[in-house]
């Protein structure tokens, strides 16, 4: 389960970066909305999977509330999930 959470954390971070640095500039500068929906949908699904897996892993790994809170809050910060993967999931 921890390995799956690690992969989802990486994918969620990549999808956020794709949304911020590819899809949104395409929309803003080239008036091309074609990428917003699929990348946004993928990011939304990965975000939900990240939070649900964080809840599951919290109980399986006996994480404290502090660690769990940091893991969840990191999903709102660009590059946050990469930090979590490196700090808490590196040995998965």
| Distance of alpha carbon 59 from alpha carbon 1, whole angstroms | 11
Residue numbers of the chain with a pLDDT score lower than 70: 91-92
pLDDT for 88 equals 77
Distance CA 72, CA 58 (A): 11
pTM here is 0.87
In Å, the largest CA–CA distance within the chain is 48
| 51, 69 Cβ separation under 8 angstroms | no
**Which parts of 5-56 are beta strand (E)?**
none
Per-residue confidence (pLDDT) for residue 19, from 0 to 100: 94
pLDDT number for residue 29: 94
Domain range summary for the chain, segments of one domain joined by +: 2-88
């Amino acid at each position: 389960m921890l390995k799956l959470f690690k992969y989802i954390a990486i994918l969620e971070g990549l999808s956020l970066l794709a949304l911020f640095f590819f899809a949104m500039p395409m929309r803003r500068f080239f008036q091309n909305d074609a990428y917003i929906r699929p990348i946004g949908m993928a990011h939304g699904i990965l975000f939900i999977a990240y939070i649900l897996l964080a809840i599951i892993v919290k109980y399986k790994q006996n994480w404290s509330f502090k660690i769990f809170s940091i893991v969840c809050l990191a999903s709102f910060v660009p590059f946050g999930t990469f930090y979590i993967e490196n700090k808490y999931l590196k040995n998965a």
